[in-house]
Amino acid sequence: MMLFETTHLTYRYDRLTAVEDLSISIREGSRVALVGANGSGKSTLLRILDGLYFGQEGAVRFRGEELTEERFADDAFAFSFRRQVGLVFQNADVQLFNPTVFDEVAFGPLQLRWPKSEVRERVHEALERFGIAHLKDRVPHRLSGGEQKRVALASVLVLDPAVLLLDEPTAALDPRSQSQMIDLLVEWGGGAKSVITATHNLADLEDIADRCLVLDGGRVVAEGAPAEILRDRELLERTNLVHAHRHRHRSGEAHSHPHIHSGDVERGD
């Protein structure tokens, strides 16, 4: 059985089509990267897979069951789905709305009605694991960008979801925090979990994914292993994932070559 399956899925924001006639399948246990430039529809697709948005046309299925607004009106289904699927938003600030870091990490387990003793234990474990135990009494939205991202990730991974959806996990982070974030994601679940990452950061692709879906204008325009996608310069240039970078060496000679974006700051699709 497929983990996620979309058939002829279309999602529009008023007159703007973000996802168009999309039919994709994602297997259990796979690590998939949704690669695309700004506005390619990858953030919207993640929200659809998380049951937050519902397409106007087509269907999306999770383990064979169609995700619809009516289905999410049922508490039992909604709790079961939220227990299995976690989404880390691109802008960590929107994910941090509790008075302390401890409350933030405890928010998800409490909403899913876990026993309180277990919540306390799991939150302490998550804080230690993500190196944020010293921040537990701080106000989350007043932390640095890197710290906020860690808290946001901890607040989702404390639920130990079988499926993790990540929207630009390394966006707006300094190089050291980017590297730490990738290490955390690679270690998480020991490779047994399903991870779907929306990114335009090609430098991390081989670390975070086994398979890439390249999106452009809300459609999948290419699919393949990271190495295969990264070799296709024409595809990357056509989808605005690389551009000709012109610069000057110390010798004074100027030249240009394709340039891969790494850790760019991006806000929303």
Q: Which C-beta is closer to other proteins: that of 57 or that of 137?
A: 137
Asked if residue 16 binds other proteins (CB under 8 A), the reply is: no
3 vs 159, beta carbon nearer other proteins = 159
Q: CA-CA distances (angstroms) from residue 135 to 43, 138, 193? A: 29, 5, 28
Residue 110 lies near other proteins (rule: CB under 8 A): yes
CB of 251 to other proteins, least distance (A): 36
Using CB under 8 A as the binding rule, whether residue 82 contacts other proteins is answered as yes
Q: Is 151 in the site for other proteins (CB under 8 A)?
A: no
Which token pair is 27? Answer: 């297997």
Nearer to other proteins, 259 or 267 (CB): 267
The rounded distance, in Å, linking the Cα atoms of 168 and 185 is 12
Check binding of 221 to other proteins (CB under 8 A). Answer: no
Q: Which of 12, 27, 71, 120 binds other proteins (CB under 8 A)?
A: 120
Name the DSSP letter for residue 6.
E
DSSP string, 14-81: TTEEEEEEEEEEEETT-EEEEE--TTSSHHHHHHHHTTSS--SEEEEEETTEE--HHHHTSHHHHHHH
71 contributes a contact to other proteins by CB under 8 A:
no
103 is a contact residue toward other proteins (CB under 8 A):
yes
Unique residue bearing structure tokens 């932390």: 143
What does the angle CA 142 – CA 148 – CA 151 come to, to the nearest 5 degrees? 120
Of 10 and 98, which has the nearer Cβ to other proteins? 98
Binding segment toward other proteins, per CB under 8 A, in 111-119, 177-185, 213-221, 240-248:
111-119
Contact between residue 146 and residue 86 where contact means Cβ atoms under 8 Å apart: no
Given phi > 0 = left and psi -120 to 50 = alpha, else beta, which region is 198?
A: beta
Residue 191, Cβ neighbours under 10 Å: how many? 11
| CB 269 within 8 Å of CB 18 | yes
Q: Does 140 bind other proteins (CB under 8 A)?
A: no
Residue 74 near other proteins by CB under 8 A: no
Helical H runs in the chain? 42-49, 69-72, 75-84, 92-95, 101-111, 116-129, 145-157, 175-187, 205-208, 226-231, 233-238
Question: Of 106, 135, 154, 205, which one interacts with other proteins (CB under 8 A)?
Answer: 106
Among 155, 178, 194, 197, binds other proteins (CB under 8 A): 155
Q: Quick one: 106 or 214, whose CB is closer to other proteins?
A: 106
Residue 83 near other proteins by CB under 8 A? yes
Q: Which residue in the set 25, 56, 68, 111 belongs to the binding site for other proteins (CB under 8 A)?
A: 111
Least distance between other proteins and beta carbon 106 (Å): 5
The separation between CA 38 and the C-alpha centre of its own chain, rounded to angstroms, equals 14
Binding site for other proteins (CB under 8 A): 47, 50, 52, 75, 78-79, 82-83, 86-87, 89, 91, 93-95, 97-100, 103, 106-108, 110-113, 116, 119-120, 137, 139, 141-142, 155-156, 159
